[in-house]
Structure 1
């Protein structure tokens, strides 16, 4: 008996390149979501949770259109957030990122991710398959948590739009990272959202 959680970053949203904070999926984002839905169509999902932001909601709807047995539900625990501030171990290269982040935002992000871990990383009985459609930093925090890495390490974990990460827990064992940012379902031209261009 295994509990699987599929972690997906939302598809690309309209005018993201112009700094728009949220919005509907772009044509490319809709294609990404459609291919993600194809990839997950054989998974017996028991629940689909998503961030309430538009780009995540629309990605969840695209998946649900292929899997009518599950109804996507929003969760405020999956909102985009910054889960930590600077720590003594944070490399100096990351300091500039925190220049516009307030202490209140960091406190709220930390509390949110503590609650998210307590809500979702809880072993459920039987075989369970849950899909969480959320944001880059949230997925990075879950992966960091499962790996037991230092807090600042979430900053080094990036996910492409509609990239697929999978964590699982067998009865009596710790959570395990099965896959991270799997892009096999996306052609090269749809692999967007990473801070660096892949060389392949």
Structure 2
């Protein structure tokens, strides 16, 4: 018979403390939601800015290396599902993660990046908004980061509603899963995490390419676990 001091004696797990339960630690049925920003995209080149080419560029050579690094980081995790934006840079990053688990990433249009100048009318002159106005918007964004500053663009509330509903919908549809990975964009991650944290700015941090942020979801609540983790990347591979 084991004595109370016998190290081989079976120990009864200690119930989580209220402080731990408040952030969903030690609670049954909690899902890990891993938010991954896509790898670096092919940068714009040439003397003029091509707005169309900036919407859906593919991964750069470095971006592919970053995507492989985050895929390796998550390779040993029990990933149940991978979801992503339809944009090339997100889909290719998600595919590399999903391949390690024998999964196919599900593509969701509502995970796409915020669409600035989405409602630009056809009859607006090519020089509008002017360089003066754009420079002013960029300066104002430094102290008041919000998508509403940009004319003819997807509104901040509309965007946050879109991305938060999409991510919460994925959580609901994967109820019972242990680990859901969602690959999207910096604006999407800011919008959802700002909603989780109950804060106002549309951009409160700048996720590095293939950075990892984790949320615990369960018991009708959400708890932030980590933000902008880049430990899987070489220092010279950290880009924004």
Aligned to 2:33: 5
- Contact 2:42–2:58 at 8 Å: present in 1 too? yes
Task: Classify 1:49/1:16 alpha carbon distance in 2 versus 1 (closer, same or farther; 3 Å).
Answer: farther
Q: How many residues get paired?
A: 182
Aligned to 1:42: 76
Task: Classify 1:3/1:16 alpha carbon distance in 2 versus 1 (closer, same or farther; 3 Å).
Answer: farther
**1:121: how far off?**
4.7
> RMSD across aligned C-alpha pairs, in angstroms?
2.7
Structure 2: 5+ residue stretches without partners: 1-28, 117-139
**1:67: how far off?**
1.9
Structure 1: 5+ residue stretches without partners: 84-89, 194-200
Query: Is residue 2:42 matched to residue 1:14?
Result: yes
- Contact 1:12–1:55 at 8 Å: present in 2 too? yes
Task: Classify 1:148/1:122 alpha carbon distance in 2 versus 1 (closer, same or farther; 3 Å).
Answer: farther
Rg (Cα) greater in structure: 2
Query: Is residue 2:232 matched to residue 1:182?
Result: no
Q: Deviations over 1:34-68 (max 9, x none)?
A: 00000000111111111000111111111123221
TM superposition score normalised by structure 2: 0.67
Task: Classify 1:96/1:164 alpha carbon distance in 2 versus 1 (closer, same or farther; 3 Å).
Answer: closer
- Contact 2:32–2:214 at 8 Å: present in 1 too? yes
